[in-house]
A and B are shown apart, each in its own frame.
Chain A
Amino acid sequence: MKRLLMLCAMGLGLAGAVQAAGFETRAATPAPALKAVDLKGATRTLADYRGKVVVLNFWASWCPPCLREMPSMERLRVRMAGRPLTVVALDSAETREEVDTFLSKMTLGFPILLDPDGSNTKRWKVFALPTTFLLDAEGRVRHVLTGPTEWDEGEALALIESLMAEVRAP
């Protein structure tokens, strides 16, 4: 009985340690290197998006939460047209065929990058999918979210707007 009570107490303690998922704010540190090819075969790096806020999403076609948040990312892209924001979705460790199969079912207007060998996934230390990084216009990581969200509303939209407010007019 003593052992049972001890374990119950430990269990309650563990349960109490569980926190709700949310964005983590990071000190503005330079982002790791990104080097991936897009669906046209062109090599892309973060330099291609410099001067814009970047929503960099790591996903995979087998991951249901990743697919659930995709429509909200597309709505965000449409809503922010003409403003300094780029949504980029990097598929983690899948083949081109697997990505194409998914894209035949969902039309997305933002760039999809491929990471078939998982090298970008490892460089960015992504351990769960989806994981999304919000980068400021200087290419620094400002916020990280592990797990899905609705990108065109709530906290996500507020954080994106705050980063875009930092962007100086040319």
Chain B
Amino acid sequence: MRFLQWLVLGLAVCVPVAQADLPDYQAFPADGDRLLLWAAPERGRAEPELQAARLLAGRGMSVWSLDAVSAYFLPQLPSSMDALPAQDMADWLRAALGSGKRVAVYAVSRAAVPVLRGAALLQPAERQRLCMLLMYPNLYTVAEALSEPDYLNVGDLSGLRVRVMQPRRSAATPWLPGQLDHLARLGATPSHVMLENLREGYWMRETPTEFEIAESRRMDAMLLRELDAWGCQ
């Protein structure tokens, strides 16, 4: 009987978590007062991301990890992220806010689009309670050589604090000011941090440098450091 109780408890707190109108995400519970919603990129969730989530939970920060292309049975393409139901994402954010913990969101690459769209559906007072970290966000509708970039309108982001994390070794680095301006035009309060000696998706590269391998193993510490340095509470 006790075994059954533990089994039910385990199923309740472990992965994946499936609720009506919420995307299927993997939960890493912790006792601390902070909760990180982690939206993996369009290429899917990589093992270093899961490992970082485990380590963060070990440090007291709960993590809800979402691999949206898997959860919604979509191809591993940037455009798949645009197809995610914004209302589901808003419900996910609301569920996190309802946990009573301090909530930060971490979205990678095109996954920034659905979480921003979800945030835009929240009430302003709810948005103000979020801290959103975007790792090399891709917010373009069109970005073609010799043409001015065109950005997605993800909705009203007034009151939302956003911090863009940009690996220096990226074709997107010269275009960071444009992405920050776009976020500001939508009402967000953007800031940024440059990640030196790293490339986009450094934790899932086929030929990573030694530094990238090391950084992949300490993504948990990097995220905590950046959240603390940012001071978004």
Interface residues of A (CB under 8 A from B): 4, 7-8, 10-11, 14-15, 17-18, 26, 32, 60, 62-64, 92-93, 118, 121-122, 124-129, 131, 133, 141, 144, 146
Contacts of B145 in A (CB 8 A): 124-127, 131, 133, 144, 146
- B101 contacts partner chain A, Cβ-Cβ < 8 Å: no
- B192 contacts partner chain A, Cβ-Cβ < 8 Å: no
Contacts of A146 in B (CB 8 A): 145
Contacts of A14 in B (CB 8 A): 74-75, 77, 79-80, 83
Q: Which of A10, A15, A60, A121 has the most CB of B within 10 A?
A: A10
Contacts of A7 in B (CB 8 A): 72-74, 83
Name 21 interchain pairs, CB-CB below 8 A, sorted by A: A7-B72, A7-B83, A11-B74, A14-B79, A14-B83, A18-B77, A32-B146, A62-B169, A92-B171, A93-B173, A118-B174, A124-B146, A125-B145, A125-B148, A126-B171, A127-B149, A127-B171, A127-B172, A128-B143, A131-B145, A133-B145
Contacts of B77 in A (CB 8 A): 14-15, 18
Per the bound structure, the CA–CA distance linking A124 and B175 in Å amounts to 12
- B147 contacts partner chain A, Cβ-Cβ < 8 Å: yes
> B143 — nearest CB in chain A belongs to which residue?
A127
Per the bound structure, the CA–CA distance linking A65 and B169 in Å amounts to 14
Contacts of B199 in A (CB 8 A): 62
Contacts of B210 in A (CB 8 A): none
- B207 contacts partner chain A, Cβ-Cβ < 8 Å: yes
- The 3 A-B pairs with the shortest beta carbon distances in the complex, nearest first, are A118-B174, A62-B169, A127-B143
Interface contact A26-B83, CB-CB below 8 Å = no
Per the bound structure, the CA–CA distance linking A93 and B171 in Å amounts to 9
Per the bound structure, the CA–CA distance linking A149 and B172 in Å amounts to 21
Interface contact B171-A60, CB-CB below 8 Å = yes
- B228 contacts partner chain A, Cβ-Cβ < 8 Å: no
Q: Choose from B75, B80, B175 the contact partner of A127 (Cβ within 8 Å).
A: B175
> A144 — nearest CB in chain B belongs to which residue?
B145
Contacts of A93 in B (CB 8 A): 173-174
Interface contact A64-B207, CB-CB below 8 Å = yes
Please give the distance in Å from B24's CB to the nearest CB on chain A: 12
> B146 — nearest CB in chain A belongs to which residue?
A125
A sample of 12 more A-B contacts (CB under 8 A), given A8-B73, A60-B171, A127-B143, is A7-B74, A10-B83, A14-B80, A15-B77, A17-B79, A118-B173, A122-B175, A124-B146, A127-B149, A127-B175, A129-B171, A131-B145
* Residues B69-118 near A (CB distance < 8 A): 72-75, 77, 79-80, 83
Per the bound structure, the CA–CA distance linking A14 and B146 in Å amounts to 25
Per the bound structure, the CA–CA distance linking A103 and B173 in Å amounts to 22
Please give the distance in Å from B103's CB to the nearest CB on chain A: 26
